[in-house]
Amino acid sequence: MSIDVFPSTEALVALDWSKGDGLLPAVIQHADTLQVLMLGYVSAESLQVTLATGRMTFFSRSRQRLWTKGEQSGNVLAVRSICVDCDADTVLVVARPAGPTCHTGTESCFGPAPQDFLGGLDRLVAVREQQRPQGSYTTSLFEGGVRRIAQKVGEEGVETALAAVAQDDAALLGEAADLLFHLLVVLRARGLSLDDARAVLEQRHRG
């Protein structure tokens, strides 16, 4: 598994390991929801293992050894990017978890840490697409096929436009929410995601 973004070789060499006796704090953030998941510590060796495997590997201070997150539970952290702070003594790791990150069974070790709701909804839509639970409206959309979902997107788009010119703010917001939801579904039906659409917007913004 490849890691999309990592600082330059110069930045890696310049990491300041002296402040923490050979360890650096590593803040782990969810790739989809941007929620802060946990804080761990990395050594130069554990960071190299992370880069080689694409799975987040820490240095356990209590066990005094390398520790790959999920090596027992299976709840690994698939690393998407790593960046270094301005003082070169902390790393921010963006990763996609395979399950709960906290040993208590919660998504984040920080409890209800803030997150991007739309990214979380996109993840839920992806789960619905895979599992197809009975009685789910999202399941019924997927089983109707891309054409049916696209029709719903069109309907919601028209209703949003009409609400914008002829109804109050509450109506407009309600229709906009419906449109966003159905956009997420049609993207998943085509094998795409909110993150893919974001990437296009980011590329356009950068020019």
What integer is the mean pLDDT of 157-162?
A: 98
Q: What is the pLDDT of residues 61-72, one digit of tens each?
A: 999 999 999 998
Q: What is the pLDDT of residues 21-41, one digit of tens each?
A: 899 999 999 998 899 999 999
Q: Residue 160 and residue 181: Cα distance in Å, rounded?
A: 13
Q: Residue 81 and residue 54: Cα distance in Å, rounded?
A: 9
What integer is the mean pLDDT of 98-111?
A: 91
Q: Where do the domains of the chain lie, and which CATH numbers do they carry?
A: 9-97 (3.10.20.810), 117-206 (1.10.287.1080)
Q: Is the pLDDT of residue 182 over 90?
A: yes
Tokens standing for 51?
């880069």
Across the chain, how many H-helices and E-strands are there?
6, 6
Burial class of residue 93, CB neighbours in 10 A (0-12, 13-18, 19+): buried
Confidence of residue 131 (pLDDT cuts 50, 70, 90): very high
What integer is the mean pLDDT of 103-124?
A: 90
Q: Is the pLDDT of residue 5 over 70?
A: no
DSSP H or E segment with residue 124: helix 117-131
More confident residue, 121 or 1: 121
Residue 47 contacts residue 55 (beta carbons within 8 Å): no
Beta strands in the chain (DSSP E): 24-30, 36-42, 57-60, 65-68, 77-84, 91-97
SS3 55: strand
- To the nearest 10 degrees (0 to 180), the angle between helices 117-131 and 169-189 is 50
Q: Is the pLDDT of residue 112 over 50?
A: yes
Distance of CA 124 to the CA centre of its chain: 12
What radius of gyration do the chain's Cα atoms show?
21
Cβ-based neighbours of 178, under 8 Å, separated by 6 or more:
156, 159, 160
Q: What pLDDT, on a 0 to 100 scale, did the predictor assign at position 140? A: 97
Nearest to 54 by CA among 113, 104, 5: 5
Q: What pLDDT, on a 0 to 100 scale, did the predictor assign at position 125? A: 96
Q: What pLDDT, on a 0 to 100 scale, did the predictor assign at position 1? A: 47
